[in-house]
Amino acid sequence: MVATTETINQVKTTTDKYKYGFSTNIEVDKAPKGLNEDIIRFISQKKEEPKWMLDWRLEAFKKWKRMEKPNWAKVSFPDIDFQDIYYYAAPKAKKKLNSLDEVDPELLKTYEKLGIPLNEQKMLAGVAVDAVFDSVSVATTFREKLSEVGVIFCPISEAIKNHPDLVKKYIGSVVPVTDNYYTALNSAVFTDGSFVYIPKGVKCPMELSTYFRINEKNTGQFERTLIVVEDEGYVSYLEGCTAPQRDENQLHAAVVELVAMNNSQIKYSTVQNWYPGDEQGKGGIYNFVTKRGKCLGENSKISWTQVETGSSITWKYPSCILMGDNSIGEFYSVAITNNAQQADTGTKMIHIGKNTKSTIISKGISAGKSQNTYRGQVQIQKGAYNARNFTQCDSLLIGDTCSAHTVPYINQHVSNAKVEHEATTSKISEDQLFYCMQRGLDTEQATSMIVNGFCKEVMKELPMEFAVEAQKLIGISLEGSVG
């Protein structure tokens, strides 16, 4: 489905527009390149992990070796050589950190530059941050304040040591090790990520946020996030991601698991801005991520909101398993691709409990020579009486060399369930552009305004502080796409 307009012709470079493309010069601890049992033992040892964790990893590695790479997604890229990647890179710590004041100033500067000040006094009020740099968490803010109400927010490597029962109980319970090729790989080699635990009846008093940064060359980032919210609990969590501008591709294969108990709610928002590669498609991050939430309790609710502007390839389907009766799953997504970017993203809503409801709003925007695919599955299993789903997929094309695809799968095994699917494809019309420009807005302002309007339903789901940032990001990602 390609629309043409004469006015939209040339796609300019956007590489100079990626303002997070710098790298930090810092001494690192690295494991040797490649992947084998020794590397896994090395990682586990570095993290001072208990034996059960190491065994879990080794088991995952064994299974991974027998698995095949998935090839069903509408993306193409050269074969990844898994022996040519570093699986562990960490800034060399001079000694054990006791407080933020002891974090390497070079690192603090890096995050400052990224707009994420880790100094608590300077922080946005009401947001606690866990900063993950390559393979380790370098700082987590507001931990004491959170622990006063019983909220645990810490690097997962610490949780494995300090809260082993919780981690043991839930890790792999939503995304099984062998769910897919990359989850098995992640389970074997994951290095850090965030752990959140909200006890019964607690509404987390501030937004929690993790900021992922890939810095080292040839290094894969394999993070693992686990969020568990007990009965009547609530948390809003946001993740942001950036990486330096490099000519080679880098792999980011994360696993995120969410567990929501009775009457609890998890709101998970992502602003993904990994380096997308240059206008020819050279370099950039391969973002192969498995995110899934389980509404285990009755009346529980999980909402995924994502704004995906970066990565050379995105392969990501944040999903909800709606087990508890009356549970609710939501997926709000904006995926923007420009130049040679490829995105295959969407969601899965698995209805198991009675009266479960899900809503999917997906907005795909393609420019340049990019490919943007929505792939979604709605499954109404036996017993999911009265389940409801509403899906709306809208695609917006900018220019005539990009493409958008919508691939919905619907499996319905209950007669009184209701599944609705709407899809539209449109393009930014010349009329709209001309109208805005006649009022004095330049092409980029006009495009950004129209696109932001197109994404409105999703943007309004983002927490305030990040919605503004995301709006700007959309403008930046599309700079030069309308000539």
Q: Give the interface with another protein as residue ranges (CB under 8 A).
A: 6-7, 429-432, 434-443, 445-446, 449-450, 452-457
Our CB check for another protein shows the closer of 250 and 305 to be 305
In the complex, what is the shortest distance from the CB of residue 468 to another protein, in angstroms, rounded to a whole number? 12
What number of CA atoms fall less than 13 Å from residue 282's CA on the CB side?
Answer: 5
In the complex, what is the shortest distance from the CB of residue 398 to another protein, in angstroms, rounded to a whole number? 15
What number of CA atoms fall less than 13 Å from residue 276's CA on the CB side?
Answer: 31
In the complex, what is the shortest distance from the CB of residue 316 to another protein, in angstroms, rounded to a whole number? 24
Phi and psi, residue 319, nearest 5°: -130, 165
Q: Per this entry, what is the length of the chain?
A: 483
In the complex, what is the shortest distance from the CB of residue 126 to another protein, in angstroms, rounded to a whole number? 21
CA distances from 403 to 367, 373, 406 (A): 8, 8, 10
Closest by CA position to 286, among listed 296, 276, 301, 271:
276
In the complex, what is the shortest distance from the CB of residue 387 to another protein, in angstroms, rounded to a whole number? 29
Our CB check for another protein shows the closer of 218 and 443 to be 443
CA distances from 308 to 78, 190, 253, 276 (A): 22, 22, 15, 11
Our CB check for another protein shows the closer of 5 and 218 to be 5
In the complex, what is the shortest distance from the CB of residue 103 to another protein, in angstroms, rounded to a whole number? 37
Our CB check for another protein shows the closer of 91 and 399 to be 399
In the complex, what is the shortest distance from the CB of residue 396 to another protein, in angstroms, rounded to a whole number? 11
In the complex, what is the shortest distance from the CB of residue 459 to another protein, in angstroms, rounded to a whole number? 9
Our CB check for another protein shows the closer of 14 and 448 to be 448
Query: Residue 31's beta-bridge partner residues?
Result: none
Based on its alpha-carbon atoms, the radius of gyration of the chain, rounded to whole angstroms, reads 22
Our CB check for another protein shows the closer of 211 and 454 to be 454
In the complex, what is the shortest distance from the CB of residue 431 to another protein, in angstroms, rounded to a whole number? 5
Our CB check for another protein shows the closer of 188 and 446 to be 446
Beta carbons within 10 angstroms of residue 302's beta carbon: 29
Query: Residue 395's beta-bridge partner residues?
Result: 364, 425
Ramachandran region of residue 146, left (φ > 0), alpha (ψ -120 to 50) or beta?
alpha
In the complex, what is the shortest distance from the CB of residue 458 to another protein, in angstroms, rounded to a whole number? 10
Our CB check for another protein shows the closer of 128 and 446 to be 446
In the complex, what is the shortest distance from the CB of residue 457 to another protein, in angstroms, rounded to a whole number? 8
Q: How far apart are CA 185 and CA 114, in angstroms?
A: 29
Our CB check for another protein shows the closer of 178 and 445 to be 445
In the complex, what is the shortest distance from the CB of residue 139 to another protein, in angstroms, rounded to a whole number? 34
Our CB check for another protein shows the closer of 38 and 430 to be 430
Q: How far apart are CA 179 and CA 202, in angstroms?
A: 31
Closest by CA position to 351, among listed 418, 289, 398:
418
Are 196 and 207 a contacting pair, CB within 8 Å?
Answer: no
DSSP secondary structure of 195-229: EEEE-TT-B-SSEEEEEEE--STTB-B-BEEEEEE
Q: How far apart are CA 274 and CA 250, in angstroms?
A: 10
Our CB check for another protein shows the closer of 189 and 396 to be 396
Our CB check for another protein shows the closer of 6 and 144 to be 6
DSSP secondary structure of 339-383: TT-EEEEEEEEEE-STT-EEEEEEEEEE-TT-EEEEEEEEEE-TT
Phi and psi, residue 429, nearest 5°: -85, 150
Closest by CA position to 335, among listed 387, 377, 374:
374
Q: Are strands 301-308 and 328-337 parallel, antiparallel or unpaired?
A: parallel
